[in-house]
Amino acid sequence: MLERIFHPFDPFVLLFTAGMSFVGTFFLYKVIRWIEGLSASDKELLTNNIFSKKTWKALGEVVRESLLHKKIFGVNVRLGYMHMSLAFGWFMLILIGNIESVYYTSRLFKPIYVSVFWRFFEPGPTFPQGAYTPGFAFWMDLFLLFVLSGLAFAIYKRFHSIRLGMKRTTRQRPADRIALTALWLIFPIRLLAESATCGANGSGSFLTGSLGSLFASFINLDPLVLPLWWTYSFVLMAFFFTLPFTRYFHIPSEPVLIFLRKYGIRVSKESPGYTDLSLRACSSCGVCIDPCQLADALPGRKIQSSYFVKTIRHNEPSDVQWDCMQCGRCEKACPVGLELMPIRQNSRADLSFGTKSNLIGMNGRNGQSHRILYFAGCMTHLTPSIIRSMTKIFDQSGSSWQFYDSDGRACCGRPLKLAGQTDGANRIKEQLQKDFLASGAELLVTSCPICYRIFNEDYDLPGIRVLHHTQYILQLIEWNRIQVDQSKLNAAYHEPCELGRGSGVTHEPRELLSKLYLKDVTPDIEGLCCGGSLGGPGLTLATRRAVARGAMNDLSAGKPDVLITACPLCKKSFSPVSDIPVMDFSESVAQCLIEQSVQPELRKSTKTHRKLPVDAG
C-alpha cells in the first residue's frame, strides 16, 4: 500500500500537470521579460536590495495584501472576507496539503500533482499502514469550507454587489468568464471528489466525511470516484491554461510587484517592464469604480481604471482615456496600490507637436529685486478677485513682493505635461526657472495648485521656497503679520485634487479654515474632483457641470453657509452650480482682514494713479 504513496500516478493527473507546467513556464517567461524591461537604474535597485531587509518587508506585505487582503477589508468587511477566503484559504490548502504529503512520504521533492490529489492517493483508514490522519483531514476540511464560503459570497456578489459595498462591479470579457467559471468549479468539484473518496472509504473529516457518508448511504460511490477526480483535474487545467490570458494572472504577478516596489522601483517611461507588471497585477476587483465621479456622470462609459488597464493590456487604446480627469481617487482606493496616474499619463500619446511655446513676453520681467515673487497662474486671471485679494494681503502684510505674471501671459507648463507634451513643458520650465532664480526672490507664492505642483515636483529652484497661497497666508497669520476677524458662518472646504492628493497639502488649508470660520463642516470623505480638471480634456461642459453638481451635493452634507476653495479652476467649476457663495481662501481672508497702517518703507511703491470716480455705482 505504501507503494501507492511512493509511486503515485493515474492518467488524470496529466491534465493538471500540463496546466501547471504551462502556467509555471509562462510565469517564469514573464518575470524574465519584466526584469529585462527595467531601466538600468531600476535593475540596480533590484540587485542592490534583493538580499536586504526589504525582501522580508515585501514578504510581509505579500502576506498582508495578497493573502489576507487587509486593504479590501477597509472598503467593506464582506468584500474583504470574500477575497481573503479564496486567497488565503486556497493558500492554506496548498500549504497544509504539501506539509501532509511531505510528512508521510518523507520526501521534499516529488511530482507536483501528488499533494494536490493526496486524498485520492491516500484515501483513508482502510489502509491501516497508510498515511491518513484525522488531524490533517480536519484542517483541510476547515480551509475547504473557508474557501467555499468565500465562493458563495463571490457568486452572490455577481447579483447583489451592493451588499458587499460595491455599487458597481467590473463587467467581464469572454476569456475572463471562462476562467471565472473554471475557478468557481474547482472547489465544489474538489469537495465532491474528496467526499466521494471519503465516502467510499469511510474517511474524511466533518465536511468531506459527512458528505461522503451521506452520499454513500444511497448510492454506490466507487464508480464515481475516478470520474470526479478526472473532472477536478480538468477544471484545474482549464483554469491554469486560461489564467495567463485573463485577470487571474494577477495571482502570481502581484507578489512580484510588491517585491519590486519595495525595492524602490516606480512607474516610469524608461521601465516598460515595470509598467507591464503593474498592469498584470491589476485583479479587476473593481474597487476603483465607485470612487470615480464619472461613474455617475457618464454611466456605462468604461473610463475607470479597471477597464483602462484592460484596454492597455489588450492593446486597444481608445479615446475614452481622454475622459479621465486624473483626479487620483481610484489610485487612492486601489488595494494593490497601483500607480494608476503615472500609468495613465505615460499612456497618453506623445503629441510632441513641438511646442515652441512662444515665450516672447515672458522674458526679462525682473527689474528690482523683491523677497516674494507672486505667480498668480493663468487661470487666476479669470477670477480677478483672487488677484485683488492677494494684492491686498501682500500689501497689508508689509511684504516686499513682485507680481510675475501680471499681464496674464505666463503659464507654468503643467497643462502641457498633463497632455503628454513633456518637451513643451520642459521648455517653459527652463525659461521660468531662469526668471525665478534671477528675480532674487526667496519665496515663490502661487494661487494655483496646478502651478504649485509642477513648481514643487519638477522645477529646480535652489534657494527659493515654493508655497501655495493658503500656506503663505497661514504663516502670515501665525506670525501675526496680518490679523483676521473670525466669521460667524460655517464653511466647508473643497480640497483641490492637485493640492491635496496631488501635492500632499492637506492640513494647512483646514487650519486656515478654522481660523476664518466659526465651524468647519467639511464632510469626512476622500477629496472630490470639481470636474474642471485639465486631465480630462475630452469631457463636455454638461458632464463637467454634472460632476460639479454631484460634488456640491456631497460637500453640502454638513449644511455649510459658504464653500471655500483653493483653486481658481475649482472656483469656476462650483460657482455656476452652487446655491451658496463660493469663495477662494484669499477672498475670504481679504474680507476679514483687520486693516492697519503699514510701515511705509516696506510697502510696495505705488505709482501715481487716476482717482476713482466719486459716486461709483
Partner 1 sequence: MAGKRNFGFDIQGGGRQIDLDHADTSLASELKDAVNAWSACINCGSCAATCPSGQNGGLNFRKLHYQIRLELPTLQELSTLSSCLLCGKCQLVCPRGIPTRYLSIQIMQKTKHYVRENIPSV
Partner 2 sequence: MLENENHRIAVIGAGPAGISAAVTAAELGIDVDWYDKADQIGGKLNDYYQLFPDRTSAMNVLQEFDNLTGTARIHKHFGKAINHIEKNNGRLVLMSDHETVGSADSVIVATGFDFFDARNKEEFGYGMYNQVITSPELEQKLKTNPDSLKFDGEAPANIAFVHCVGSRDQQIGINYCSRLCCVTGIKQAIEMRELFPSCRVVNFYIDLRAFGSGYEELYREAQEKHQVQFIRGRVSEASENQQHRIVLKAEDTLMGRPLKITVDWVVLLIGMVPSCTQVQVADHQCTDQETGFLKAANAFTGHRLDGQPGIFMAGACGGPMSIPEAAASGKAAATEALQYLINR
CB environment 475-500: b (16+ within 10 A), e (fewer): ebbeeeebebeeeebbbbbbbbbbbb
426 three-class SS? helix
Smallest distance, partner 1 to C-beta of residue 368, A? 24
Pairing assessment for the beta strands 487-493 and 582-584 based on DSSP bridges: unpaired
Q: Which of 59, 112, 221, 351 binds partner 1 (CB under 8 A)?
A: 351
Q: Retrieve residue 279's grid coordinates.
A: 498592469
Q: Which of 411, 476, 477, 547 binds partner 1 (CB under 8 A)?
A: 411
**71 interface partner picked from partner 2, partner 1, none, CB below 5 to 8 A per type:** none
Q: At a CB cut-off of 8 Å and minimum separation 6, what does 78 contact?
A: 153, 163, 164, 165
**Beta partners for 493?**
564
Q: Using CA atoms, how far apart are residues 270 and 43, in angstroms rounded to an integer?
A: 11
Identify residue 2 by its one-letter amino acid code.
L
Q: Using CA atoms, how far apart are residues 341 and 458, in angstroms rounded to an integer?
A: 16
- According to DSSP, residue 484 is labeled B
Which region, judged by CB under 8 A, interacts with partner 1, from 57-65, 217-225, 349-357, 496-504? 349-357
Residue 408 lies near partner 1 (rule: CB under 8 A):
yes
Q: Which of 292, 373, 378, 567 binds partner 1 (CB under 8 A)?
A: 378
Which region, judged by CB under 8 A, interacts with partner 1, from 116-124, 142-150, 516-524, 537-545? 537-545
Residue 318 lies near partner 1 (rule: CB under 8 A):
no
Q: Measuring CA to CA, how many Å separate 167 from each of 84, 103, 114, 333, 569?
A: 20, 47, 42, 14, 30
Which region, judged by CB under 8 A, interacts with partner 1, from 100-108, 413-421, 439-447, 488-496? 413-421
Q: Using CA atoms, how far apart are residues 486 and 524, in angstroms rounded to an integer?
A: 23
Residue 320 lies near partner 1 (rule: CB under 8 A):
no
Which region, judged by CB under 8 A, interacts with partner 1, from 145-153, 329-337, 353-361, 556-564? 353-361
Residue 354 lies near partner 1 (rule: CB under 8 A):
yes
489 three-class SS? strand
**108 interface partner picked from partner 2, partner 1, none, CB below 5 to 8 A per type:** none
For the chain, what is the radius of gyration of the CA atoms? 31
**616 interface partner picked from partner 2, partner 1, none, CB below 5 to 8 A per type:** partner 2
Cβ nearer to partner 1, comparing 30 with 494: 494
Q: Which of 349, 438, 525, 557 binds partner 1 (CB under 8 A)?
A: 349
Q: Which of 501, 508, 562, 559 is nearest to 528 (CA)?
A: 501
Q: At a CB cut-off of 8 Å and minimum separation 6, what does 30 contact?
A: 244, 253, 280
Q: Using CA atoms, how far apart are residues 195 and 212, in angstroms rounded to an integer?
A: 4
Q: Which of 478, 482, 408 is nearest to 447 (CA)?
A: 408
Residue 520 near residue 510, CB atoms below 8 Å: yes
Cβ nearer to partner 2, comparing 160 with 611: 611
**388 interface partner picked from partner 1, partner 2, none, CB below 5 to 8 A per type:** partner 2
Smallest distance, partner 1 to C-beta of residue 410, A? 7
Q: Which of 355, 406, 475, 556 binds partner 1 (CB under 8 A)?
A: 355
Q: Which of 4, 71, 371, 381 binds partner 1 (CB under 8 A)?
A: 381
Residue 352 lies near partner 1 (rule: CB under 8 A):
yes
Residue 382 lies near partner 1 (rule: CB under 8 A):
yes
Q: Using CA atoms, how far apart are residues 421 and 354, in angstroms rounded to an integer?
A: 8
Q: Which of 18, 359, 489, 562 binds partner 1 (CB under 8 A)?
A: 359
**480 interface partner picked from partner 1, partner 2, none, CB below 5 to 8 A per type:** none
* Cell 498582508 belongs to residue: 64
Q: Using CA atoms, how far apart are residues 479 and 513, in angstroms rounded to an integer?
A: 17
Cβ nearer to partner 2, comparing 195 with 573: 573
Which region, judged by CB under 8 A, interacts with partner 1, from 59-67, 196-204, 206-214, 536-544? 536-544
Smallest distance, partner 1 to C-beta of residue 378, A? 5
Identify residue 537 by its one-letter amino acid code.
P
Residue 433 lies near partner 1 (rule: CB under 8 A):
no
Residue 67 lies near partner 1 (rule: CB under 8 A):
no
Residue 421 lies near partner 1 (rule: CB under 8 A):
yes
Q: Using CA atoms, how far apart are residues 221 and 196, in angstroms rounded to an integer?
A: 6
**597 interface partner picked from partner 1, partner 2, none, CB below 5 to 8 A per type:** none
Q: Using CA atoms, how far apart are residues 34 and 253, in angstroms rounded to an integer?
A: 10
Footprint on this chain of partner 2 (rule: CB under 8 A): 381-385, 387-388, 408, 541, 545, 575-576, 606-617
Handedness of CA 211, 215, 220, 223 (dihedral sign): negative
Smallest distance, partner 1 to C-beta of residue 347, A? 14
Phi/psi for 537 (5° steps) reads -65, -25
Binding to partner 1 (CB under 8 A) within 216-235 occurs at: none
Residue 570 lies near partner 1 (rule: CB under 8 A):
no
For partner 1, the binding residues (CB under 8 A) are 319, 322, 349, 351-362, 378-379, 381-382, 407-411, 413, 415-416, 418-419, 421, 424, 428, 534, 537-542, 569, 572
